[in-house]
Amino acid sequence: MHPGRVVWIGLRSARRAPLTSVDAARLDPVEGLIDDHYASRTGGARHLTLIQSEHIAAIAAHLRREAVRPEDLRRNVVIAGLNLAALKGRRFRLGEALLEWTGECHPCSRMEEVLGTGGYNAVRGHGGITARVIEGGEIRLGDALERIDLPARAC
């Protein structure tokens, strides 16, 4: 399996605040994504959200748009070149950090607000995944995402 790579990272400073694009971020096994509004609030199951760049293109196509901005989808990390579904039940390395898949990231009602009519349905099945931080470290644009071929602990 070929590794994917990080093409976008976003942090939100407060609830309902827009995401800010950054070149690097720090992950912690207790806090999750440092400097993100949701840091330490999720009990670990949703330390980080990831979405495929290929799915962002599909969402845009469903909305009959040229493009959709990553920050509009409210996910923290955009990965290119890897099917995130292949991470189900697995651990994976992202930059310096070790993560484990914890679930699918389903669209929320904000998708209608942000993307307009049809936004929620355009994101269904393309919303990405959630992950827990096992070992912290820095992630940067261009970093690899590589699946570890050991199953994650029971989620």
Say if residue 39's pLDDT is above 80: no
Query: 118 is written with which tokens?
Result: 């049809």
Nearest residue to 73 via CA among 86, 81, 83, 65: 65
Say if residue 151's pLDDT is above 80: no
Say if residue 153's pLDDT is above 90: no
In the chain, what are the domains?
A: 4-150 (2.40.33.20)
DSSP string, 49-67: EEEEHHHHHHHHHHTT-S-
Q: Which pLDDT does position 46 carry in this prediction?
A: 86
The terminus-to-terminus CA distance of the chain in angstroms comes to: 23
In contact, 52 and 82? CB cutoff 8 Å: yes
Say if residue 117's pLDDT is above 60: yes
pLDDT bin (cut points 50, 70, 90) of residue 67 is very high
Residue 17 exposed, middle or buried by CB count within 10 Å (0-12, 13-18, 19+): exposed
pLDDT in tens, 25-35: 999 999 999 99
pLDDT bin (cut points 50, 70, 90) of residue 13 is confident
Distance separating alpha carbons of residues 38 and 57, to the nearest angstrom: 26
pLDDT in tens, 82-113: 999 999 999 999 999 999 999 999 998 889 99
pLDDT bin (cut points 50, 70, 90) of residue 129 is very high
Q: Which pLDDT does position 101 carry in this prediction?
A: 96
Q: Which residue has the tokens 């827009």?
A: 18
Q: Which pLDDT does position 16 carry in this prediction?
A: 81
